[in-house]
Amino acid sequence: MSAFDIHSKPTDPKALGVFDYWYLQYCLTTGLYMLEPWERRLFNSVVLGVLTVSAGIAYRGISAFF
């Protein structure tokens, strides 16, 4: 089972890979399992964009002190 196929039968977390386990937890926590695949990709793209911009701003802010 892959975390990308969240509609299949759940398995033991130890049987999943580390990335699959954390992605499954992310989907369950944020409610992404209720979205269609294109909506899930759009949401994940927005989250990734926000994290990228935040990391860039933090890097520029921290590098100003060194």
31 phi-psi bin (left φ>0, alpha ψ -120 to 50, beta other): left
15 and 30 inside one domain: yes
Contacts of 28 (CB under 8 A, 6+ apart): none
26 and 49 inside one domain: no
pLDDT of residue 9: 59
Would the pTM of this model clear 0.85, i.e. be above it? no
Domain count for the chain: 2
**Helical (H) or strand (E) element with 37:** helix 37-63
Residue 45 structure tokens: 């793209």
Structural domain harbouring 55: 35-66
In a structure prediction context, what are the per-residue pLDDT tens digits for the chain, which is 66 residues long?
555 565 565 566 667 788 888 999 999 999 999 999 999 999 999 999 999 999 999 999 888 877
6 and 25 inside one domain: yes
